[in-house]
Amino acid sequence: MTNQFLRAAIGVLLLSSAAESQRPVDRALATLPRRDANTFWTDLNQSRPQAVPPEFKAAVLATLPAKGEVRNLKEPARRKLAAAQEILRMHQRDAVYEVKVIDVPDAFVGLHARSVILISETALNLLSAEELQASVAHEAGHEYVWAQYETARKAKDFERMQELEMFCDIVSVVTLRRARLDPSRMITSFEKLLRYTRERFGPHPNEAHYISAGERRKFIQTVITWAEGREQATAQ
């Protein structure tokens, strides 16, 4: 994806001194009024990254331990995974990503090596079908900013990572709306996963990758307002 598209879509590369003085959430919101959700979706389609080569995907899958993968899934788990595949199909990733359910304590959904969607069995049981779709749509968004996110992660540039995570939230909201689903499921999804983790394990180190839960809720609500074409609100 080009830097130009990132600037237009979310403003994460704004380099003016005024932009640098803003909070990450304000920078992320700054360009939303300049484009509508349909144009954003068109831009995503036109800027979709090239899929990883089959041999790379095979190598990634070969590194994953066989122990811990959950294979014998029952209903409604299978229905939830089928719903998640619908979202991947919208992003032309249903034949690119392998989806694996894993037995780990965390409530977790993540994109690994641009090749595998990893879903913990805990998260699969915890989330509704639409909430899982919201999380998977967010993870699909990561591929558009993969290189930028890896650079920020290695540099421990948490503010930059927060901006890119918000971009993925925008992708999720626009995707859900496009699928005629309730985009607020992005809110309930991340809140469920966060609450489960905090109650059992305390604050997770990855929380620094995101703005606060309260800010994130307000941010997503603002993006929903924008996506629905209503008057732009402001995330406080």
Low-confidence ranges of the chain (pLDDT < 70): 1-21, 31, 33, 230-236
pTM of the model: 0.89
So what's the pLDDT on residue 229? 86
So what's the pLDDT on residue 181? 97
Counting the structural domains of the chain, the total is: 1
CB atoms within 10 A of CB 215: 17
Examine residue 233 and state whether it is found in any structural domain, yes or no. no
Q: Is 98 within 8 Å of 117 (Cβ atoms)?
A: yes
Examine residue 235 and state whether it is found in any structural domain, yes or no. no
Examine residue 135 and state whether it is found in any structural domain, yes or no. yes
Range of the domain at 171: 3-227
So what's the pLDDT on residue 230? 63
Examine residue 232 and state whether it is found in any structural domain, yes or no. no
So what's the pLDDT on residue 13? 35
Examine residue 234 and state whether it is found in any structural domain, yes or no. no
So what's the pLDDT on residue 30? 76
- Copy the structure tokens of residue 107: 């409530």
So what's the pLDDT on residue 31? 67
